[in-house]
Amino acid sequence: MRSHCALYVDVGYLLAASATRVTGTSLRSGIVVSYPDLVARLIAAAEEASGMPLLRVHWYDSGRRSGGAPDASQEAIGMLPRVKLRLGRISPQGEQKGVDLRIGLDLAAHGRNRVVDVIYLVSGDDDLCEAVEEAQNHGVQVVLMAVPDRSGKPHAVSKHLIRESDDLIVIDGAVVDDTVHVRQLQPEEAPAASGAGAAAGVVVPLPGPRPPAAGTDVEVAPARPTPAVLAGPRPTARAGEPGGGVRAGSGTSRPIWSSTSDGVGSRQSASTTSAELGLIDEVCRGVISAWSVTASAEDRRRLRSEKPYIPSDLDRALLLDLSARIGVYDVDEHLRYLLRDHFWEVLGASGS
């Protein structure tokens, strides 16, 4: 029987890491992706590394429609040759559910059945360690493929996961740079796509907020942002839950930021270093800047009306970026509170 390799792609990790490399923040709505090209380049990397033909790509993401059904872009991805769409779902709170479980079950089952000889896993999630070990117990090699930051180092992959895997290789940075781009402003009403290229779905954009209406002021992201090193995705607590934001009127004291000449806040607290405060400010400004590029007037109104609750995509990006900058996997409750509070400070000051 001919030997094959397989590619397992944790899309949450791949896109958040790629967004960080391209835009400086892990906010997925800030990028547009040429999926056919990206998938083809990943397949080529796996086949070159293994010296074997690829059986198929398992594409793990959360279904963007009700009940975990795929949206239009995910449908298009599932139609690509040798791509198997494996979807979890989005909870009512906007959190990803079932994706890690699907990856883990497939790793264990495919390893037990010896479907392939080598599995290339594009992920950095510590929760997959036991599934990797189970696949290895049945004689399958599991090799991690990491997205590089701008310095060429892998975006933070769990050390435990690295230890359990057979090897770690870093994807060529050109794979990301050539297929993932900053989302540009588009007219509110765009003409219908036409022609063979559009029908083939050459570029399938990520779902995200509609672009701003004409005449809306936006804060454009810096031309050369400082990228954060991605921390592995984690479900984040909502406001009012342990580690979540503070409800209005809860009686909890509010952090006090004092303005400085360069506009960077600092909190009067003995437990928080000035370096941490500076990173919090940097993260908030980066996420808000990236979000503002595509946020419509209605998006801005809705965000302000829901204060103090931060939408899940923005909240996740804030926590991932801060986790990366301070070099810890989980951000503690104190810093989460400071981060979320300062998000509203920066948003108000920016006029977004």
- Output the pLDDT for position 90: 83
Helices marked H in 113-187 — which ranges?
129-137, 159-164, 173-179
DSSP letter at 148 equals: B
CB 62 within 8 A of CB 99: yes
Contacts of 219 (CB under 8 A, 6+ apart): 288, 289, 292, 350, 352
CB 161 within 8 A of CB 126: yes
- Output the pLDDT for position 317: 92
- Output the pLDDT for position 185: 60
CB 39 within 8 A of CB 57: yes
Locate the domains of the chain by residue range.
5-205, 211-352
Residue pLDDT tens, the chain, 352 long = 568 999 999 999 999 999 999 998 999 888 999 999 999 999 999 999 999 999 999 999 999 888 889 999 999 999 999 999 999 988 877 778 899 999 999 999 999 999 999 999 999 999 999 999 999 999 999 999 999 988 899 987 888 999 999 999 999 999 999 999 998 765 543 434 433 333 333 444 444 443 444 444 434 333 333 333 333 333 343 434 433 333 333 333 333 333 333 444 444 444 678 888 999 999 999 999 889 888 888 999 999 999 999 998 899 899 989 988 887 777 889 999 999 999 999 999 887 6
Contacts of 32 (CB under 8 A, 6+ apart): 180, 181, 182, 183, 184, 203, 205, 206
349 in the Ramachandran plot: left (φ > 0), alpha (ψ -120 to 50) or beta?
alpha
pTM for the full model?
0.72
**CATH superfamily ID and name for 5-205:** 5'-nuclease (3.40.50.1010)
> What gap in Å lies between CA 197 and CA 209, rounded to an integer?
24
- Output the pLDDT for position 186: 52
- Output the pLDDT for position 310: 93
